């Protein structure tokens, strides 16, 4: 697999050694497991004071943020919270007001001389959804380049980019093998990649050749893109970026993230119990009777997946977001142990590590 990151010297973090993203630098900072190896470490080190990061979280990660913000502001005013607060005193970063200098020449140059084959991924250094796509490209061992857009330069507003992605956000993908087909929205991109890979190779890697399993994978994919990612994005926004402190909004979205993780935790726990009963059959009666707890089984830490017996895009789509929830006060190791073990197994995969490092 070949992957190159096209960087801009004016982009945040450019020139910092081999670090091409906030995600990659965090691999060396936060442990998600008990091992000392780098394959057991992950988190998303979001620069909360970066204007481009604020823009990305508010626009790309929180698709429906405007409605929620309006509702929260009305509620805040009703509670007497309509007075302006001194941002220097309360520590809330200033709202992103758009790029101060527009320079889209790098993007224009790319579209004037596109590659003849492979894929080009348009992403952002602090965009979990972009890294979702990178993980799948890496797992499928596909040849791709990454262009990390610089929002400070307004590159996401370049006419050539808007032409392939009318939403002017990341991620977006160009499939150069299909007459420069452009796809936008992370879920749509991922489903295109696995379906095309299955068609071309006959191998349903990260996918399934079973129609029922395909439907279940789609269900979890849509659940992740519509319920998991947006709720974390909203919680981040109201905790760090909103112009006023609205505790009720922070509480509401953090609670919703916990509810979403409860759904995933229950599904994984049921898969865990079924696996133990199947593989540890000699002790199944004791487990069923409750005389021996399931955590005594030698298969208690064995990997389980949301759909079927193999890892799929349904699982991998959660990875980048699972590593940002600590920023909203959720400790998945303590609160959702099955989610923690599941995430740890995925973070140990070589392709996942390479994708998050931008290699």
Q: State yes or no: 157 annotated in a binding site.
A: no
Eight-state DSSP code of residue 174: E
183-188 long-range contacts, Cβ below 8 Å, gap at least 24?
A: 185/225, 186/129, 186/130, 186/132, 186/133, 186/225, 186/317, 187/221, 187/222, 187/224, 187/225, 187/317
Q: State yes or no: 359 annotated in a binding site.
A: no
Q: State yes or no: 213 annotated in a binding site.
A: no
Task: Indicate the angle between helix axes 211-223 and 186-201, nearest 10 degrees.
Answer: 160
User: How far is C-alpha 162 from the geometric centre of its chain's CA atoms?
Assistant: 22
What CA dihedral angle connects 192, 57, 330 and 91, to 10 degrees? 170
Strands (DSSP E) found in 194-340: none
Q: State yes or no: 352 annotated in a binding site.
A: no
Residue 37: CB atoms within 10 Å: 9
What CA dihedral angle connects 317, 318, 323 and 327, to 10 degrees? 120
Q: State yes or no: 170 annotated in a binding site.
A: yes
R_g (Cα) of the chain, nearest Å? 21
CA–CA dist 238, 327 (Å, integer)? 12
Q: State yes or no: 169 annotated in a binding site.
A: yes
CA–CA dist 43, 92 (Å, integer)? 22
Q: Which residues are annotated as a binding site?
A: 129, 156, 169-170, 185-186
Q: Which residues are annotated as a binding site for glutathione?
A: 129, 156, 169-170, 185-186
């Amino acid at each position: 697999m070949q992957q190159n990151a096209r960087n801009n010297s004016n982009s945040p973090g450019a020139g910092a050694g081999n670090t091409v993203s906030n995600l990659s630098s965090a691999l060396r900072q936060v442990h998600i497991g008990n091992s000392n190896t780098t394959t057991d470490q992950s988190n998303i080190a979001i620069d909360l004071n970066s204007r481009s990061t604020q823009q990305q979280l508010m626009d790309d990660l929180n698709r429906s943020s405007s409605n929620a913000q309006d509702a929260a502001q009305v509620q805040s005013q009703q509670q007497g919270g309509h007075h302006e607060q001194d941002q220097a005193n309360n520590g809330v970063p200033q709202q992103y007001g758009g790029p101060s200098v527009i320079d889209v020449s790098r993007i224009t140059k790319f579209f004037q001389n596109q590659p003849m084959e492979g894929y080009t991924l348009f992403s952002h250094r602090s965009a979990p959804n972009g890294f979702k796509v990178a993980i799948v490209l890496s797992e499928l061992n596909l040849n791709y380049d990454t262009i990390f857009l610089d929002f400070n330069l307004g590159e996401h507003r370049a006419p050539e980019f808007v032409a392939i992605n009318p939403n002017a956000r990341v991620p977006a993908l160009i499939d150069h093998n299909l007459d420069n087909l452009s796809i936008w929205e992370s879920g749509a991109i991922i489903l295109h990649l696995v379906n095309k890979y299955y068609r071309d190779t006959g191998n349903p890697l990260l996918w399934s050749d079973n129609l029922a399993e395909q439907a279940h994978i789609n269900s979890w994919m849509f659940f992740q893109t519509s319920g998991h990612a947006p709720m974390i994005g909203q919680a981040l926004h109201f905790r760090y970026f909103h112009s006023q402190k609205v505790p009720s909004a922070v509480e509401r979205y953090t609670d919703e993230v916990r509810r979403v993780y409860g759904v995933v935790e229950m599904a994984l726990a049921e898969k865990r119990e079924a696996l133990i009963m199947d593989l540890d059959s000699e002790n199944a009666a004791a487990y069923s009777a409750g005389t021996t707890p399931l955590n005594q089984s030698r298969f208690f830490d064995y990997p389980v997946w949301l759909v079927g017996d193999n890892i799929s895009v349904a699982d991998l789509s959660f990875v980048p977001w699972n590593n940002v929830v600590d920023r909203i006060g959720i400790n998945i190791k303590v609160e959702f142990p099955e989610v923690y073990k599941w995430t740890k197994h995925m973070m140990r995969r070589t392709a996942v590590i390479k994708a998050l490092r931008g290699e």
